Copies of this chain bind each other. A is one copy, B any other.
Amino acid sequence: MKSPGAKAKRMPRAVREQQMLDAAVRTFGQRGYRAASMDEIAELAGVSKPLVYLYLNSKEELFTACIRREAAALVAAVRDAVEADAAGPGTPADRQLWAGLTAFFTHTAENPDGWAVLHQQARTHGEPFAAEVAAMRAEIAAFVTGLIGEAAREAHQDPAFGDRDVSGLAQALVGAAESLAQWANETPGVSAKEAAATLMNFAWAGLGSLMDGRRWSPSR
Chain A interface, >50% SS class: helix
Q: CB distance A173 to B156 under 8 Å? A: no
Q: CB distance B176 to A172 under 8 Å? A: yes
Closest chain B CB from A124 CB (angstroms): 5
Q: CB distance A175 to B180 under 8 Å? A: yes
Closest chain B CB from A30 CB (angstroms): 16
In the bound assembly, the distance between CA atoms of A152 and B201 in angstroms comes to 14
The interface on chain A, measured as residues whose beta carbon lies within 8 A of the other chain's beta carbons, has a size of: 56
Closest chain B CB from A99 CB (angstroms): 15
In the bound assembly, the distance between CA atoms of A123 and B130 in angstroms comes to 10
In the bound assembly, the distance between CA atoms of A93 and B180 in angstroms comes to 22
Would A172 and B151 be within 8 Å (CB), given that A124-B123, A208-B204 are in contact? no
* Nearest-neighbor residue (CB-CB) of A164 within chain B: B190
Q: CB distance A213 to B164 under 8 Å? A: no
Taken residue by residue from 133 to 172, chain A's Cβ proximity to chain B (1 for < 8 Å, 0 otherwise) reads as 0000000000000001001100110100100110111011
Candidates B94, B171, B209; contact of A180 at CB < 8 Å: B171
Name A's B-contacting residues (CB within 8 A): 33-34, 93-94, 97, 123-127, 130, 148, 151-152, 155-156, 158, 161, 164-165, 167-169, 171-180, 182-184, 187, 190, 194-195, 198-199, 201-213, 216
